Amino acid sequence: MKGHWDIRYSETEGVYGKLPSPFWVQELSKCSGHLALLPCEGEGRNAVLAAQKGWNVDAVDSSAVGMATCARWSKEAGVGKLVKTYVADALDFEGASDGYDVVGLFYAHMPNDIRQLFHRKAMSWLKPGGKIILEGFNSRQLTLHSGGPKDATMLFNIAQLESDFQGLVMEQMETVQTTLDEGPFHQGKAEIIRMVGTAPQL
Ligand SMILES: C[S@@+](CC[C@H](N)C(=O)[O-])C[C@H]1O[C@@H](n2cnc3c(N)ncnc32)[C@H](O)[C@@H]1O
């Protein structure tokens, strides 16, 4: 039986658009290294961009339909060899044994009871000096209609992310009012959080 995300990605291609998140484009350009991880990557909009910039990318999502689209978009963009797709629960994904230079968490909202575990897992994927780049909806998004979970406990706030990502050196942590134009499911005025944190060098 197909799950929620498989159905959504089967019904519409480019649910969050085909273009990458502008914040990912901006922040990835400041990163050094060669290996990026995108858990909860959906259809691959950010994976394709990273590969086009020369990164080797591991893309993970529990939706087989999303990952099939990611593989196809990567191939069509001529970067199929740089993008590996994994259909897996992100909490079970081990990843590269030496870790990643950058981990991108884009709209990776989890149920409250596993969010902290997932964020700890995200930190465990980093090499020393590696970065987490995160964008997602903040709690004020609940009254808006531009996307995101309708369960308030799945939305982010700064105090919670600061606690979840203790151990990273925070370079950026801010709530932002913006207007999303990312496919049919992220459209309009939105309340988001943007975070960049770096794992300490050993
Ligand atoms: C809102 S979409 C965001 C997709 C993508 N990051 C983007 O911004 O275009 C959330 C994605 O998280 C995936 N997801 C949710 N929980 C997951 C889990 N535990 N393991 C792997 N993927 C998960 C869903 O399948 C879905 O593709």
Kindly list the structural domains of the chain, giving each domain's residue range(s) and its CATH number in brackets, ordered by start.
4-198 (3.40.50.150)
Establish whether residue 20 lines the binding site of ligand 1, counting it when its CB lies within 6 angstroms of any ligand atom. Answer: no
109-150 confidence digits (pLDDT tens): 999 899 999 999 999 999 999 999 999 999 999 999 999 999
What is the Cα–Cα distance from 178 to 170, expressed in whole angstroms?
Answer: 22
Q: Is the pLDDT of residue 19 over 70?
A: yes
What's residue 1's pLDDT?
55
Atom of ligand 1 nearest to the CA of 16: 9
Q: Residue 12's pLDDT band (boundaries 50, 70, 90)?
A: very high
> From ligand 1's centre to the CA of 66, what distance in Å?
9
What's residue 49's pLDDT?
98
What is the Cα–Cα distance from 98 to 127, expressed in whole angstroms?
Answer: 7
> From ligand 1's centre to the CA of 112, what distance in Å?
15
Protein residue with its CA nearest to atom 26 in ligand 1: 42
Cβ pair 109, 136 in contact under 8 A: yes
Query: How is residue 201 annotated by DSSP?
Result: P
Cβ pair 18, 45 in contact under 8 A: yes
180-198 confidence digits (pLDDT tens): 999 999 999 999 999 999 9
Q: Is the pLDDT of residue 70 over 90?
A: yes
> From ligand 1's centre to the CA of 202, what distance in Å?
31
84-108 confidence digits (pLDDT tens): 999 999 999 999 999 999 999 999 9
Average pLDDT, the chain: 97
Residue 122 gets the label, from left (phi > 0), alpha (psi -120 to 50) or beta, of alpha
